[in-house]
Structure formats: structure tokens, C-alpha cells
Structure 1
Amino acid sequence: MKAVKSVAVLTDYLYPYQNSLIAGIQHALEHHGVPSTIFVGRNLKTSNVGALRANDIYDLLDPERHLGIIVLAASVGVHLSDAELSEWMKAYHPLPVVSIGRKMEGASSILLDNRPAMRELMKHLIVQRGYRHLAFMRGLPGNHDSEERERVFRQVILEQGLVLDESMIMTGRYASSLAFQEMTRLLQRARELDAVVCANDEMAEGAIQAITALGLRVPQDIAVVGFDDSEEFKHVVPPLTTVRQPFFEQGEEAGRRLLEMVLEGAAAQDSFISPQLVVRESCGSVQMGSALPQQSEVFRGVLEIQQDLFEQFEQVATCPDKHQAFLTLWKDTLLRRVHLDQEFFVWRDGLSGCVQRVGLASGPEHLAEVLKLGFAAQSILASILQMLHSRNHLLGINSTKMAPELFAVDRHDDLFRALQGYLEHMGLRHYMLVLYESYESTPAPYAHVTLAAGTLCHMDVGVFSTRELLPESMQEELSCGSLVMSPLFVNEVHYGYLLYEPPSWGRFDEEGLCHTLSQALQQLEQTLALRSYAENLELQVQVRTRELKAEVAERMKAEQALREANAELQRFAFLDGLTQIYNRAAFNEHLQSQWVNHLRHNRALSLILCDVDFFKKYNDHYGHLKGDECLKRLAQALARSVRNRGDTVARYGGEEFVIILPETDETGALLVAERIQHEVQQLQILHERSEIGASITVSIGVATLVPQAGMSPEELIHLADQCLYQAKQAGRARIMQQVMTGI
């Protein structure tokens, strides 16, 4: 089949910001029947050496096979100067290019103008709300967005005839924990404060925490507003007044602009999109009957469904005997929403506006009935959201349990069968796993498809040119909809890539998925290399035996070498490469062995689960090299905390560690957990991004039980995981313990 040209989208990650932009791009392109291929690398010129090889995926973009390029320049080129970014894009000449979030020479740039919305936010606080004493929380010094928002803050203060007090300007560096500290210091020296304007939502969340901690109320005592309308802070209490960044619309405009350049020959030009003020409760009560902000186009389908539901709400609100039927319909509708966790605030705000509108129209005599129905609907929404969070948590646990199966194989066929089950569990229904013909430091020129599911075409295992992305007989896969392309590599070795449609439900961890697949491929290749070494060695022994007629002596040498090779393989399989403590596979084997022993002798067995608090923020701030060093030191601290060689310390995955304590009751387990906390505190590893302290801390879950017939080791793991979850919910950097009854 002749190759169909698609639009190439270049991104660094699939985080919420990137996903919103890509959704807008896809919406614009699919409206015209134009397919897209999303190349997922990492930041160009990143200081994270381990991620640099991911950017080789961009080299597989063949200009001859694409209509044009849309690059998420603000994130992909965050470490490049304008000149460096423009030079890098020359490799794709003469394709038309649209740049998102950053101006680029020779390209159409889709940019955000934050000033009008920031000015509208300030006037809302001063003119409509009547606030006179305002403070500002800036982000990173030198950051363009932060400086622009502060500049508008100062201008409006002066325009409105208010006094600009420099002592009310704080620096939160875009971090909740630092904003908490800055806000606390300000309130301790000056209480004459009406409102706090923060340069992003994360700092606003930290400011709200500080105000609440001092016994004050938001917004009754002090109003707080943010900027960005970040998805991570949609659930702040009270709901946060902020400025919504129209990322979906920005992506949609990028898609439209590229089509104009491709189909109509339009010249490159820049476009500016203004964010939108979103008024919620954190700046003051929302007046009944006031208009709700217009939602992003990404939620168009949600709004259409809501309209029908809210019309029914209006019809039955004043008829208590019809409430239950409406609540049943409301519940069934919410349960069918696969993205409810992302849509929650749209449903919450929509319901709130509906209740206000109906309550105002119904009059005082029916207000109680309207509010009662609204409260019941809100409770159902919150309960279903909690259920979804629990389901996603369990899915994550099950995925972690499945991963070891990928590392317990010694043949390609077995690995591919295990990968098929793993990808299905991860929610991938349409994918193609492509492996290179040779594994090198750069993508090999030729490749083949080794695994596929949900494809329009039959899988073709023939060799093809890598820059074609798929064999000629499977090019139709690239002509329909949108496919994501993620590289598979470990350190300096490229194994291939995964072409796929991400799942339509839950949170999708592209990094974690590709890391697991890459590690599984590396493990199998090393296993096969060791086996080949052993087989070749045996053959050499036989030949040498015949030649030298010293069969016994030579065979003893070969057997010894084989034992050493197998011992090395065993050691590699059970040690974590980074921390040099036991890995997950070793932990599973040790726990099963201890479980059988304790079941036989009816003795108590304890398990400790440790999780490094805010480790992602540590990695983001200090870099992955520092993150690796931190994990090494923590592993050593845990090893010092146990009692003897009978205790097993292992890396459970990522920043989680686990300790098996044989013949240990709850008292002994608690002592070990307390030693762990002490050892970690003594490390004094600086963590400026932690929300609970200045140094690295850990949350610990401790579980103890006596194994009984009919029970499994997973119950002990689940018990410890529940305790760990409770420790995090209680504020982190603490120990939670649970003992299963019957001990």
C-alpha cells in the first residue's frame, strides 16, 4: 500500500499539559480526516543523560512521509536558545512547521497572551470584590511568565489608586511548600491583608494551607487566587479562582494553522490566544445565578450530556418523589464516563451552577428541596470519583505484580507472550511493537514488527526500512486517526519503538510503560548472551578434549566456568542494578520461602513498605543523577537498620523499598521501622521541593500476621500497602502499623 502522509507532532512527554495540546491538535486534524503521528522523545539538550537517547526517535521523522510538523516547542526546546531551536528544526526542511508556546523563526507560532486575563483577574478582585490590600506570590526569578503576571499586578494596583507595598511581594518559586513558608511569614508580621494573587495554582494551594494552619479562613478572612487552572489542583478546597490556560484551543489552532499552510499555501504567521478568568469560591462566595465560565472545547461532549441532565434536574427539583429516579440516572451517567477523574471539576461546577440557577428560579418556598437534590447529586459525584481513584490504585498494584513475569523468561516467544498480556492489562488495544534488526547506540536502519494487536492489517513480520515506521503492507495503520510512537532503549542501546493508541481511561504512564518494556528486552538479551557464552564454552571444551585427549581435566574447567557464568546470571537476576540490594524478583522468592516456613511453624511474619516522600519533585528539581544517588544512600540506610542477615531488604520499584522481617511480631517490626526513620533523618539529604521538610523523608507502612492455611503472601503485602497509604494520607514522614487479628 502507498504510504499516506500524516502530520508529525513532536513532544517530550505525555503529561497533562502535553495531552491537552495534543487533544486539540487531533481534534482539528481529524475534522479534516488528516492522520497524525506523535513522536515522543524528551527535552532537547537535557541534563538527564539517561533520557538523551530518547531524542533519537526524532531522527526517524522522514520529511517525505509527512505533510508538516507541529512541535511543542515550549517544552521540547526548554533548554535551547531560539537560535539553537531554529537550527535543530532545519533538519525537517522544507516541511511547514507550527510551533506551540514559543516563537520560532520561519514557523507559525501559537502563543498565549496572559496579560488580558491577568488584568481581568485583578479588576475582579479590586473592582467587583472591593479588596484593597493585596499581596503577590511570584514564581521563579527571571521566569518570563512570572514577571509578566507581576508586571500586570503592579500596573493595576497603581491604576486603581491603591498603595503598592513591596513587603507584600513574596517569592514562592512555583512550589507549594515554599509558598506555604512565605505565606506563613507574611501573616506573622502583617494581618492587614484581603487577598493573595499567586503566579500559579500550586503556590495558591500552598498559600491556602498556610492561611488555614493559622486558624484563618479562605475566602472569609483572606481570598486566594491562582493562575493556569492546573488539573492537579482542580480539587483544592475551596475551589480555586484562577486563569484557565486554553491548551486544548492552542493545540486546535495549531492544527488548523498547519492545514492552512499545507492545503491553502498560507504563509507562516503568529497567533495569540488569551486565557480565561475562572471565578470560583476561593475569592469570595459565588452569587446565586451568576454565570459560570465557559469550559474548554475539550469538554464539548460533557457539556452536551450535562445540558440534558440539568434540564431534567430543573423539572424534578421541586418534586421530592421524583428525586430518586433522577439520582439513579445521574449515577448511571457518571459511571459511564471513562475520563471522570479529568472531567470532575466540569461536573462539579456545572452542577453547582445548575443548583444556583434552579434555586433562584424556584423561589424561597422550594429552595430546601432544590438544595437537597443538589447535595445528593454532589455526594454521588464525590463517591464515584473516590471509587475511580481506588480502582486506578489497584490497577497500578496489579501492573507492578505482572511486571516480574516479563523478567522471568529466557526465550523470545515467551517474552512476547508475556508482553502481550502486560500491554493488554495496561489498556492498550491497538499497538505494534517494532524491534530493530540490530541493537546499537543509534536506531538501526532496518526493523521488523514482532507483536501487534487491534490492527487493520495482518501483521507483517518482514524487514523494512526504519524510517518507514511500518512495513509497506501495514502503512494503512498510519493513515487512520492518531498513533503515538515511543522509543525503547536502555542507556546507550536502542531496541525499537512502540506505535500505539493510548488507553481511553485512567492515567497513562508512558514513561513507566516504555521503561518496563525496554528493561525486559535488555534482560532477555543478556540472558541469551550468557546462555550463548555457556554453550560456546561447552563446545570449545568438547573440541579441546578431542584434540588434547584430556577430557576429564578440560571438562572440569568447562563446568567450573559454566557454574561461574550461571552464578553471575543468578546474581544479576536478583540484585537491583542501581542500589545493589535485592530486586523485586528476589523479594518475591524470599517472601514465598519465608511464608511457607512461618506457615509450617505458626510464627509471626512482618513486612515493612517504605516510600520516599515527594521523590518525583526531587528528581525534577535536582535531576535524575542526584535522584539515583539519593536512592543508593537510602538503600544503605535501610540495610543498616535491619537486625541481621535473616532480614531481607529489597527495592520494590521506583522509590519504594520493602523489608521482610522473619519471626518478628509487631513490637519488633515497629522498632526496625523507627530505626529506618532515624537513619534516613541522619542522612540529611536536602530536598527543597518537599512539602513537609527541608530534607528527604520516608513514609512507612508496617504489617504483621501469622500465616494461616488459605492465606497468601499478597495479603501481607496488601496490608502493608494499606498502612503506607494511610501514612501518606496522614501527612507523610510517619509510620502506620496494622496487625491482622488472630496473632
Structure 2
Amino acid sequence: MTMPETAGEPALAVAVVTGIDEYQQRLLRGMNPVLRARGIPLVVHANDPYIGGVPASLVRLIRQGRPSGVITSASSAVAEEQTLMELLRELRIPAVHLGRTLPDRTCVRGDNETGMRALMAHLLDERGVRRPVLVRGVVHQQDSIVREEIIREELARRGLQVDSGLVVRGEFGHDVAYRAMRALLRSRRDMDAVIAFNDPSALGALGALADEGLRVPEDVVVTGFDNDQAASLSWPGLTTVDQDLEGQGRAAATALVHEIDGGASRGEITVPSRLIVRGSTVSPGPTGSSFDTAVAMARATQAQLSVQDAILGMNRALIRCRTLDQVVDALASRLDRLGIGRCFLAVYQADDGSAGTFDQARLVLDYRDGEVRERTPDLFPTHRLLPEASRHVISDSGLMVLQPLSVLDRDLGYVLFEGIEGPASVTEVLRMDLSRTLDGVASTLELTDHAATLERLVAQRTEELESA
């Protein structure tokens, strides 16, 4: 099917996510086939989770690029979400929102209630849990709020209450949850369960319990939510709730196509969830299943080590770069090992080497299928993402990730690459290492220019004094 057009431009859908982790990858895997079947390419704008506010690159992409539709995933900041919603309403761009409940908007959510109530019945009725630790998610995030409400309701139905001293903030993060649990375990050890609001925070808690000498599930049972791959590969395997993230992605993309075609908002769409019981709450299963799990863990570890080796090699190469050409060479020589087939690097830089405006960029790397292609030296509008001669790659690829590059408040450019498969650490290394290296190159150029300016001023003043 041919690609629809908007105001004379080929259609483009934008997915707004905070980083590319397994959670987001699974959502995107569900979206992509639906949009691709309609000939609508998907650009995934990966916001930096450590920079507040809506990124300027995203504002340009939406305001000037005018995509046919936008799918948003819940942000870690309320103000950022509100600003983005206002922009989409102002421009009347069809939008679908994941993990949120908004009036008069199409929203897609996992069925927290069914899965969470099944999880609580398993813990309270089958495992006899009475003193659970709650590892909260992001405070304002809708899923986190609903999950906590259900936990409290299910405890109250059985005449139990949440001990406020056993409630910690995990922020949906492994490291945050690990530190919070270690701190709690220094003062209390009377808990019999840890109920984490997602899998990464559950795995962080699992690590803290192990480091404090507590056994899972013998001393404390642990549960998560989402059914990430790591949940099945941890030891013991993590009891969790599968909320069908791929199904949520499909539902969001289907609803977006409906609105792009002129259909009305579909309100709230709920995708079913189901309980997955593993070794973190029950005794280990048969030897055969344990062996299969061990084999899967070994293979996953081998793949992770291979990626880490490639990332370390890129880090070592980039840290030695002093010029933009060296950065481009170092990046291009290692993309294949990172599993990236197409990658474009654009910098906000004019032809004279000075900082360019954020509305224009220059393409410094065009990498496709193992080869570095010849690139145009001309500036192009950043909301177009690529120079005109290369824009067909976006349609051909179907899905590309747009990762802005910045250091503190300094915007440097962006990397646009194909695919979402593989460890999320690949996206992180592109963001962090490239940003840091480009910032160093830019600072070196600025110092060189400053030194040259001072030298000219000294020479000019010397000449004036000699002629006086």
C-alpha cells in the first residue's frame, strides 16, 4: 500500500519514549508492523531521561515536521507530559497515549487490575504473605498509582494494612531499588515479601536481598511486573505479570491509523494481562525446566558479553578522537559489531566549523549496510532528519531511532539509526559516548579559535606599539 501524505509531505509517525529499554522495545515491536502495513514509517524519538523538559529536537520535529500522528509513552516528569500534550492539541496532530488516562483522548493501557489482583491472591492466599515491602515506581505515573491502590485494596480485604515503614521508592529502576532495599535492610528484616512495581526494580531488590544474606524464596518472596526477558533469565526466575506490551503497541498503532484516517478518539483501550509464576515465589520446578533455563541464561550472557566487548571497543576508540573526522571513522568502524545496519550522524555545525543553528544540521556520517556513503556537505533543515537525497531511507527502513546528542544544556546534534533489536545499552552508548566526544571536539575547536584570536590581537597590538 502506498504511503499517505500530509500537506504534500509523505506521512510519518513519531513515537516519543524516554530511553530505549526492553519495555519500550516491546511496545515498538507491536507498533511497527501495523504502521508498516499502511506504508507509514515510524521515527522513535528517544528522550534523554536526565534532561528536564520537552527536548528542542522533539518540538522541531513535531512543530515543523508535522508528523501524521504521534504515540507517546508515559514520561518521568509531569510538566514534560503536559507541555507535549498542549503542543499536540495546538497543532491538532492525531495522538495516542500509552500508560495514561486522559479525557477525550485515545489511551492504551495494560490491564493492571486483573494481573495485579491475581498476583496479590498468589502472595496473600497461596504464599501466606503478611508483611510485604512495596517498591514504588514513578510517583505520578498512572500504572504505579493503580498498582499501589490494588495492593492496598487486596490487603484491606484480608484485614491487613501496608506498613508505611516498608514502603520505598524504586522509580522503576534497578539501581534505585537496589539502594533503597539495602538501606531498608540495615534497619529492618521482618518483611516476608517484596512487591516491586516493575521487573527492573524487582531484580534490584533481589540483588539487595542476596547481598544481605537473605534467600529467595525461602526467606523472602519477590515479585515484579511486565515480564521482561530478564525476569525469566534471573536466578531464581522472577514471578511477574505479563501485560502484553507488544499487544499494547499494536493497539496504539491501530488506534493511531484510525485517527489519521479521520476517525474519532476511541477513549481508553485496555489490553489483558496475566500472572506468570516462577521461582522467586515458589520452589524450583523439575530438573528439566531448570536445565533449559540455565542454557537460556548462558546464551543470553554470551550475547551480552559480545555486546559489552563491542561497546568497550567503541568507547576506547572515541575517547582518543580529537577531530570530527576521527569521530566519524571510529563510529563507522564499529557499527556492524553493534548490530546497526544503517546509521546517520548529523551535527549542528556550519561549513566554517562554527556552531550551527539548531534549525539546520550537516550530515557527517551516512552509513548503510556496512559502507560509508558519500554525503552532501550542505546544511539541511533538522526537522527533515536527513538531506533530501537520503530521506528515502526512512521510508525504506520502516522504523528508525532518533537519539539527540547533548551535554548539559549544549545541543550537539543527533544520531538516526535503524532498528530496535539488541540490548538497550547500545542506544545508551550512542547517546553518552557520542555526546561526550562531540562536546570535547567542539570545545577543542573553540579553544583553538580563541587562541588564534588572542594571537591576532597580540600581533595587532604589537604592530600598533611599534609604529607609535
User: Shorter chain as normaliser: what TM range?
Assistant: 0.7 to 0.9
Pair 1:442–1:526, CA change in 2 (3 A): closer
Match of 2:406 in 1: 489
> Are the aligned partners of 1:184 and 1:210 in contact in 2 as well (CA < 8 Å)?
no
RMSD value, Cα: 4.1
> Are the aligned partners of 1:441 and 1:493 in contact in 2 as well (CA < 8 Å)?
no
Corresponding position: 1:453 with 2:370: no
Match of 2:312 in 1: 397
Corresponding position: 1:421 with 2:329: no
Alignment of 1:100-139 (within 5 A): 100-125=98-123, 129=126, 131-139=127-135
Alignment of 1:225-304 (within 5 A): 225-263=223-261, 265-285=263-283
Measured in 1, the distance between the counterparts of 2:330 and 2:230 equals 34
Corresponding position: 1:435 with 2:347: yes
- Residue by residue, what CA displacement relative to the aligned partner does 1:183-218 show, whole Å, maximum 9, x if unpaired? 686655x8xx6x665544466557656776887754
> Are the aligned partners of 1:244 and 1:275 in contact in 2 as well (CA < 8 Å)?
yes
Structure 1 residue 86, shift from structure 2 partner: 3.1
Match of 1:75 in 2: 75
Letter in 2 for 1:30: R
> Are the aligned partners of 1:53 and 1:489 in contact in 2 as well (CA < 8 Å)?
no
Letter in 2 for 1:6: L
Corresponding residue to 1:176 among 175, 178, 181? 178
Pair 1:530–1:258, CA change in 2 (3 A): same
Corresponding position: 1:388 with 2:303: yes
- The alignment partner of 2:166 has SS state of strand
Letter in 2 for 1:164: L
Alignment of 1:510-659 (within 5 A): 510-535=427-452
Match of 1:29 in 2: 35
> Are the aligned partners of 1:488 and 1:495 in contact in 2 as well (CA < 8 Å)?
yes
Letter in 2 for 1:249: G
> Are the aligned partners of 2:27 and 2:245 in contact in 1 as well (CA < 8 Å)?
yes
Pair 1:225–1:469, CA change in 2 (3 A): closer
Measured in 2, the distance between the counterparts of 1:275 and 1:497 equals 36
Letter in 2 for 1:452: D
- Residue by residue, what CA displacement relative to the aligned partner does 1:10-33 show, whole Å, maximum 9, x if unpaired? 223223332222222223222333
Corresponding position: 1:477 with 2:393: yes
- The alignment partner of 1:406 has SS state of coil
Measured in 2, the distance between the counterparts of 1:444 and 1:151 equals 44
Pair 1:230–1:440, CA change in 2 (3 A): farther
- The alignment partner of 1:172 has SS state of strand
- The alignment partner of 2:85 has SS state of helix
Letter in 2 for 1:135: R
Letter in 1 for 2:333: G
- Residue by residue, what CA displacement relative to the aligned partner does 1:492-551 show, whole Å, maximum 9, x if unpaired? 44333222115744443434423433443343344344444555666667777777767x
Measured in 1, the distance between the counterparts of 2:465 and 2:183 equals 79
Letter in 1 for 2:342: H
> Are the aligned partners of 2:233 and 2:293 in contact in 1 as well (CA < 8 Å)?
no
> Are the aligned partners of 1:7 and 1:66 in contact in 2 as well (CA < 8 Å)?
yes
Structure 1 residue 279, shift from structure 2 partner: 1.1
Letter in 2 for 1:476: H
Pair 1:387–1:166, CA change in 2 (3 A): closer
> Are the aligned partners of 1:29 and 1:36 in contact in 2 as well (CA < 8 Å)?
yes
Measured in 2, the distance between the counterparts of 1:42 and 1:211 equals 31
TM-score (norm 1): 0.52
> Are the aligned partners of 1:502 and 1:508 in contact in 2 as well (CA < 8 Å)?
no
Structure 1 residue 99, shift from structure 2 partner: 0.9
> Are the aligned partners of 1:117 and 1:277 in contact in 2 as well (CA < 8 Å)?
yes
> Are the aligned partners of 1:101 and 1:111 in contact in 2 as well (CA < 8 Å)?
yes
Structure 1 residue 277, shift from structure 2 partner: 0.5
Measured in 2, the distance between the counterparts of 1:126 and 1:536 equals 73
Measured in 2, the distance between the counterparts of 1:134 and 1:215 equals 21
Q: Report which structure shows greater RCO (CA 8 Å, sep ≥6).
A: 2
> % of aligned pairs identical?
25
> Are the aligned partners of 1:200 and 1:228 in contact in 2 as well (CA < 8 Å)?
yes
> Are the aligned partners of 2:19 and 2:46 in contact in 1 as well (CA < 8 Å)?
yes
> Are the aligned partners of 2:319 and 2:437 in contact in 1 as well (CA < 8 Å)?
no
> Are the aligned partners of 2:75 and 2:81 in contact in 1 as well (CA < 8 Å)?
no
Measured in 1, the distance between the counterparts of 2:395 and 2:122 equals 48
- The alignment partner of 1:239 has SS state of coil
Measured in 2, the distance between the counterparts of 1:273 and 1:392 equals 33
Corresponding residue to 1:406 among 302, 321, 324? 321
> Are the aligned partners of 2:348 and 2:356 in contact in 1 as well (CA < 8 Å)?
no
Structure 1 residue 221, shift from structure 2 partner: 5.9
Alignment of 1:372-383 (within 5 A): 375=291, 380-383=295-298
TM-score (norm 2): 0.78
**Which moves more between the two structures, 136-145 or 460-469?**
136-145
> Are the aligned partners of 1:115 and 1:149 in contact in 2 as well (CA < 8 Å)?
yes
Measured in 1, the distance between the counterparts of 2:368 and 2:259 equals 33
Letter in 2 for 1:257: A
Structure 1 residue 181, shift from structure 2 partner: 5.7
Match of 1:59 in 2: 60
Measured in 2, the distance between the counterparts of 1:9 and 1:392 equals 26
Match of 2:4 in 1: none
> Are the aligned partners of 2:182 and 2:212 in contact in 1 as well (CA < 8 Å)?
no
Measured in 1, the distance between the counterparts of 2:213 and 2:321 equals 52
Measured in 2, the distance between the counterparts of 1:81 and 1:526 equals 30
Alignment of 1:123-162 (within 5 A): 123-125=121-123, 129=126, 131-140=127-136, 145=143, 148-157=146-155, 159=157, 162=158
Letter in 2 for 1:501: E
Letter in 2 for 1:433: L
> Are the aligned partners of 1:201 and 1:233 in contact in 2 as well (CA < 8 Å)?
yes
Pair 1:443–1:230, CA change in 2 (3 A): farther
Question: Higher helix proportion, which one?
Answer: 1
Match of 1:88 in 2: 87
- Residue by residue, what CA displacement relative to the aligned partner does 1:116-143 show, whole Å, maximum 9, x if unpaired? 112122333455x3x4453332234966
